[in-house]
Structure formats: structure tokens, C-alpha cells
């Protein structure tokens, strides 16, 4: 008999099951309907964060916008990441697990409601108002503590790991609650935030390094991350619609309107294409120790994707003449997150396969030149739609390069990593 929990059978009553751990080598493991429902609440949180970032940037509050966006996006992404890794190891799909997941969904909604206040407080610069954000975050994390304690009680082999996870979360939540009552300057509050963020992130590193870890499933984790990336990419579509509406309201249906549609959808689609260049699932399957960078690094990847959607929305504000930003600054609001996203994808790929491909250096150089060209065109007074179209070309260059040449390099690198695969 396997020490791991077998794939749950269809049980209409969803009776209680022991959390003995899912088989990390289980065939056909995919995201469950409950996980997909859980993800829907994050669509709201991501949308609010992107909208607030775009509004703040258009108002010229660049530094405060980035600080608020970084803080709130970390909370959203980290809560999602923690749930996904736990679900990968201990998804029982019984009634307790379902109700606990619902409680976490409530927490996400509460957190999303608090994001505008957090942005406003940083923008005004007197104090950091994160009461509602913290309340929602703590609701999610307390529910997560319950899940880890349940797993610790029912899975003796991984008890130490589960208790360590629960302990780190409890310590961090005490800090978050205390932060609500500390009326300090924005800078002091942000230092406290960074400290608590480090506490939160220390959990997976300490547990997976110094204990037997947890039985997470490599292919399931890779799929879950790709699904959240798609959720974040949805903001690109939202931003495209906002820009298109601005052009249509200003000019009616025109060539510029068509170019905006092509630029926004093309940018979103090509970023999606680029994401799946990284062979995360097969590498994680045989090199589980590389999970930390894919887990932590995706916070920045998700943030860059969301910020790209916000950048398209900033372009809409500019077209509507509701932005204090210049044409150059508007294009930079889009080009910078696109550049960050592509750089992170290249970095993640190089880390996963443990090699730096010279062909990638060529692609990165072409991407940098393309994005620089979009900024130069904007500063020269070229129409905004044209500038957005040039930004779109950056990920398209990567897609073309991969499909023509890069895929052979990727196959060779992956073959080398998978030598000795069971």
C-alpha cells in the first residue's frame, strides 16, 4: 500500500478523508474545479490592483504607486502561492477542505476591498492604511494555519514540515496585526512590511530545506502557476478595451482604433506564448530543489504582467487627456513592465536549465532595442497607437526567435537536464 493518498474517488457526499499527502508522481494530476473557483476571487484582487496602479500613475504619483502596488500585489500573490502548494500536497476535496477554501476566498475579497485605501494612504503620505488589506490577508492565512495543523495531525511522516509551516504563518500574522496599530511614517511601515515579508518567505525555504518537505506535484504546480499567469494576462485585455474605448470616444472607429486592438491583444497573446517557453514541469519533476526560484520568482513575473495591463490602461488615460504624464512617460509605463517580464522569463529559463544561451543574448538585445525605439518614437511626437504597436513587437521577437531557432536549443538543454530521469 502506498504511503501517499490515492486519487480521491467520486464521493457525492464529500466525506472526510485523511490528509496523508497526495502522490507526487500521480499520473494525470491537474487543477481541480475548486482550485479554478478559488482563482476567480483573485481575478477581482488583480483587477483592483491594476486599476489602482494605472490611476495613480496617470495622476503622476509614480513612486507611491509603485510602493502601494508592490505591497498589495505581494499579499495577493503570496496568499495564492501558499494555497496552491498546500493543495498540490494535501488536496482531499472533503467538506472541511472545501469550507476552509471558501473562507480563504472570503479573505481574498476583503483584501481586494482594502487595496484602494492602501493606495490612497501612501499617496497622501501621512500613514499607511492597510487595515482592511491585513484583515483579508489574515483571514486567508488563519485558514491556511488550520489546514497545515490538520495535515500535521493526520500525516505523521510530514508532521514536522506541516507544523513549521503553521508556526511561521502564525508568527507573521501576529506581526501583520500589530502593524495595524502602529501609527508610524510610511518609510517605517514599509520597513516593517519588508521584515514581515521575509518572515513569510522564510517558511517554504526552511521547511523544504531542513525537513522531508511536502509531497507537492511538479506538473500540478507548473499548471497552477500558468493558470495564474493567464489570470494576470487578463488585465492586458482589460487595458486594451480601456484604450480602445478612449480612442473610439475621441475619434470614432478609425485606423488608430484598429492599431490599439492589434497592439493590446498582440502584446497579451505574445506574452502568453513566451511564458510557456520555460520547461518548468519536466525540470521540477526531476530537480525538485529548483522549486524555490520558480516559486518566489513568479511573484515578480505576476507583478510585471499585471503592471503591463495597468500600462495599457495608462495609455487610455493619456488618450482621454486625463493623465498628467507625457507621451514618453506613458510609453515607459508600458515598456518597463514588458521589459521586466521578458527579462524575468529569460532569467527563469536560464536558472531552470542551468545554462545561458548565447541566442538568448541576441534576443534580449533585440528586445531592448525595440522597447527603446518605442520610447524614442514617443518622445518624437509619434502617435500613441504606433508606439504601442512597437512595444508589442518586443515579445513577438522572442516568439519568432523561439519558433525558428530557440526551440532546438530548448530541446537540447531539456534533454541534458533530464538525463537519468526515472
Q: What confidence tens digit (pLDDT) does each residue in 194-250 have?
A: 899 999 999 998 998 888 889 999 999 999 999 999 999 999 998 888 888 877 877
Tell me the domain boundaries of the chain.
33-210, 219-417
Above 50 in pLDDT, residue 280?
Answer: yes
Per the confidence metrics, is the pTM higher than 0.95?
no
pLDDT, tens digit, 9 for 90 and up, residues 130-168: 889 999 999 999 999 999 999 999 999 999 999 999 999
pLDDT at 105: 96
Q: What distance in Å separates the CA atoms of residue 306 and residue 333, rounded to the nearest whole number?
A: 12
pLDDT attached to residue 14: 67
- Specify whether the CB–CB gap between 397 and 363 falls below 8 A: yes
Instruction: Compute, in degrees rounded to 10, the torsion defined by CA atoms 407, 408, 411, 416.
Output: -140
pLDDT value at 192 more than 90 = no
d(CA 396, CA 74): 28
- How far apart CA 109 and CA 102 sit, in angstroms, is 11
Q: Where are the alpha helices (DSSP H) in 125-158?
A: 131-154
The 10s digit of each residue's pLDDT in 360-385 is: 899 999 999 999 999 999 999 999 99
Amino acid at each position: 500500500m502506498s504511503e501517499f493518498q490515492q486519487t480521491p474517488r467520486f464521493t457525492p457526499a464529500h466525506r472526510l478523508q485523511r490528509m496523508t499527502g497526495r502522490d507526487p508522481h500521480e499520473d494525470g494530476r491537474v487543477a481541480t474545479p475548486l482550485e479554478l473557483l478559488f482563482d476567480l476571487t483573485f481575478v477581482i484582487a488583480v483587477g483592483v490592483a491594476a486599476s489602482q496602479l494605472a490611476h495613480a500613475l496617470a495622476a503622476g504619483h509614480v513612486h507611491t504607486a509603485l510602493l502601494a502596488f508592490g505591497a498589495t500585489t505581494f499579499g495577493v500573490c503570496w496568499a495564492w502561492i501558499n494555497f496552491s502548494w498546500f493543495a498540490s500536497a494535501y488536496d482531499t476535496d472533503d467538506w472541511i477542505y472545501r469550507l476552509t477554501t471558501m473562507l480563504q476566498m472570503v479573505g481574498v475579497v476583503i483584501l481586494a476591498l482594502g487595496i484602494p485605501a492602501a493606495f490612497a494612504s501612501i499617496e497622501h503620505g501621512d500613514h499607511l492604511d492597510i487595515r482592511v488589506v491585513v484583515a483579508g490577508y489574515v483571514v486567508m492565512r488563519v485558514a491556511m494555519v488550520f489546514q497545515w495543523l490538520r495535515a500535521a495531525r493526520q500525516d505523521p511522516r510530514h508532521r514536522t514540515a506541516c507544523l513549521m509551516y503553521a508556526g511561521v504563518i502564525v508568527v507573521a500574522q501576529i506581526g501583520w496585526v500589530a502593524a495595524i496599530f502602529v501609527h508610524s511614517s510610511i518609510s517605517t511601515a514599509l520597513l516593517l512590511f519588508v521584515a514581515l515579508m521575509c518572515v513569510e518567505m522564510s517558511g517554504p525555504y526552511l521547511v523544504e530545506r531542513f525537513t522531508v518537505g511536502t509531497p507537492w506535484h511538479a506538473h500540478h504546480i507548473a499548471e497552477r502557476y500558468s493558470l495564474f499567469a493567464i489570470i494576470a494576462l487578463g488585465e492586458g485585455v482589460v487595458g486594451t478595451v480601456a484604450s480602445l474605448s478612449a480612442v473610439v470616444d475621441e475619434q470614432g472607429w478609425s485606423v488608430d482604433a484598429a492599431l490599439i486592438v492589434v497592439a493590446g491583444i498582440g502584446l497579451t497573446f505574445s506574452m502568453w506564448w513566451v511564458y510557456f517557453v520555460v520547461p518548468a514541469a519536466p525540470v521540477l519533476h526531476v530537480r525538485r530543489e529548483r522549486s524555490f526560484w520558480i516559486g518566489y520568482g513568479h511573484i515578480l513575473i505576476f507583478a510585471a504582467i499585471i503592471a503591463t495591463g495597468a500600462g495599457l490602461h495608462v495609455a487610455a488615460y493619456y488618450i482621454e487627456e486625463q493623465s498628467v504624464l507625457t507621451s514618453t512617460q506613458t510609453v515607459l509605463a508600458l515598456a518597463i513592465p514588458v521589459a521586466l517580464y521578458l527579462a524575468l522569463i529569460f532569467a527563469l529559463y536560464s536558472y531552470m536549465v542551468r545554462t545561458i544561451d548565447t541566442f538568448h543574448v541576441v534576443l534580449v538585445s533585440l528586445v531592448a532595442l525595440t522597447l527603446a525605439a518605442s520610447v524614442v518614437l514617443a518622445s518624437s511626437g509619434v502617435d500613441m497607437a504606433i508606439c504601442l504597436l512597437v512595444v508589442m513587437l518586443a515579445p513577438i521577437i522572442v516568439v519568432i526567435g523561439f519558433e525558428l531557432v530557440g526551440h532546438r536549443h530548448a530541446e537540447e538543454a531539456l534533454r541534458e537536464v533530464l538525463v537519468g530521469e526515472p
